[in-house]
């Protein structure tokens, strides 16, 4: 189907300038493996310095505001992040949906703001453990995806990350069958909104305790087009086998 694998590290609230050598080492790994698209979504304070040493990796942000500018103390617009050197941003991570109370509508608006500033976007969705245990997680997450999907969603600027909340930072992952079923359902949901051609071209990443041990198996699943990686992206040593597993 020709979807280039996309492997992105999300450093969350981790990283000072002392970690720039890790960025540089990950950038070197990415340059060695151009078949995979590799990036790091960093704390905003590191974006500018990281873009000087990023090698073959792209540098991204972890969130952006939905407005271009204005009275929003402490927030950063997509244009600010782009100017600092970001070429991608995450929107809708479950930690922000939870900690900052972001709604599906907020997330769609953020994605549009990012696109308007020239950023590519990783839009995150995923279910809680209660939803997983109750059954029907595919329907719940598909509905969440369609509710937060921005207008004009297209594969050349948007990727989706499926991140089961209960798998984030826990060392637990769903069964391969469950991941396969979810990614298939999400692609079908995308097709219902943007058409089969665009949906087939769009990358759907898996995230949640992905590491060097499980990445190859996860990324071998037909509709898994890469990973959004937290803890295992913080050093080049840990991230290297995840990147290698993608191609
Ligand atoms: O939330 C995640 C990436 O956005 C996943 O984090 P972990 O890989 O640390 O579980």
Instruction: Dump pLDDT digits (tens) for 136-171.
Output: 999 999 999 999 999 999 999 999 999 999 999 999
pLDDT at 231: 98
Ligand 1 atom closest to Cα of residue 232: 8
Check whether 209 is labelled as a binding-site residue.
yes
Domain membership flag for residue 132: yes
Ligand 1 atom closest to Cα of residue 209: 10
CATH number at residue 191: 3.20.20.70
Collect all residues with Cβ–Cβ distance below 8 Å to 49 and sequence separation of at least 6. 17, 20
For residue 11, the CA-to-ligand 1 centroid distance in Å is 9
List all residues whose CB is within 6 A of at least one atom of ligand 1.
10, 93, 163, 168-169, 207-210, 228-232
CA 115 to chain centre: 15
Domain membership flag for residue 172: yes
pLDDT at 2: 87
Check whether 230 is labelled as a binding-site residue.
yes
Domain membership flag for residue 97: yes
For residue 164, the CA-to-ligand 1 centroid distance in Å is 10
| Residue that wins the pLDDT comparison between 157 and 2 | 157
Domain membership flag for residue 39: yes
Q: What is the mean pLDDT of the chain?
A: 98
Ligand 1 atom closest to Cα of residue 124: 4
Domain membership flag for residue 1: no
Mutation test residue for ligand 1: of 61, 121, 161, 163, the one with most atoms within 8 Å of CB? 163
For residue 78, pLDDT beyond 60: yes
CA distance 211 to 162: 15
User: Domain total for the chain?
Assistant: 1
Check whether 10 is labelled as a binding-site residue.
yes
Mean pLDDT value of segment 39-63: 98
> What is the ipTM, given to two decimal places?
0.99
- The per-residue DSSP string of the chain comes to --PPPEEEEE--S---GGGHHHHHHHHHHHHH-TTSEEEEE--HHHHHHHHHH-TTSEEEES---SSSSSS-TT---HHHHHHHT-SEEEE--HHHHHHS---HHHHHHHHHHHHHTT-EEEEEE---HHHHHHS-HHHHHHHHHHHHPPTT--TTTEEEEE--GGGTTTS----HHHHHHHHHHHHHHHHHHH-HHHHHHS-EEEESS--TTTHHHHHTSTT--EEEESGGGSSHHHHHHHHHHT-
pTM for this model (two decimals): 0.98
Q: In the chain, what percentage of residues exceed pLDDT 90?
A: 99
Domain membership flag for residue 200: yes
Domain membership flag for residue 226: yes
CA 45 to chain centre: 19
At 12-24, the pLDDT tens digits run 999 999 999 999 9
For residue 227, the CA-to-ligand 1 centroid distance in Å is 9
Check whether 128 is labelled as a binding-site residue.
no
Closest C-alpha to 158, from 204, 193, 105: 204
pLDDT at 8: 99
Of all protein residues, whose CA lies closest to atom 7 belonging to ligand 1? 230
CA distance 100 to 32: 38
Instruction: Quickly state the pLDDT bin for 192 (edges 50, 70, 90).
Output: very high
- Identify the residue whose tokens are 């087939």: 200
Which are the catalytic amino acids? 93, 163
CA distance 141 to 163: 10
At 197-214, the pLDDT tens digits run 999 999 999 999 999 999
For residue 239, the CA-to-ligand 1 centroid distance in Å is 12
* Domain that includes residue 164, residue range: 6-245
């Amino acid at each position: 189907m020709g979807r280039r694998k996309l492997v992105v590290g999300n450093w969350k609230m981790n990283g000072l300038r002392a970690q720039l050598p890790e960025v540089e080492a990950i950038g070197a790994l990415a340059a060695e493996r151009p078949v995979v698209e590799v990036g790091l979504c960093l704390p905003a304070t590191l974006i500018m310095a990281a873009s000087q040493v990023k090698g073959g990796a792209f540098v991204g942000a972890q969130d952006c505001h939905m407005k271009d500018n204005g009275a929003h103390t402490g927030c950063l617009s997509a244009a600010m992040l782009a100017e600092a050197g970001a070429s991608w941003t995450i929107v809708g991570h479950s930690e922000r949906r939870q900690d900052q109370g972001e709604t599906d509508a907020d997330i769609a608006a953020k994605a549009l703001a990012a696109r308007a500033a020239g950023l590519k976007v990783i839009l995150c969705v995923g279910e809680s453990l209660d939803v997983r245990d109750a059954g029907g997680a595919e329907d719940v997450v598909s509905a969440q995806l369609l509710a937060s999907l921005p207008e004009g969603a297209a594969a050349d600027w948007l990727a989706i990350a499926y991140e089961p909340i209960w798998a984030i930072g826990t060392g637990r992952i769903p069964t391969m069958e469950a991941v396969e079923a979810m990614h298939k359902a999400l692609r079908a949901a995308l097709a219902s909104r943007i058409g089969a051609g665009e949906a087939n071209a769009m990358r759907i990443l898996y995230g949640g305790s992905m590491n060097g041990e499980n990445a190859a198996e996860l990324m071998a699943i037909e509709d898994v087009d890469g990973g959004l990686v937290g803890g295992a992206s913080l050093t080049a040593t840990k991230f290297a086998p995840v990147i290698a597993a993608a191609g």
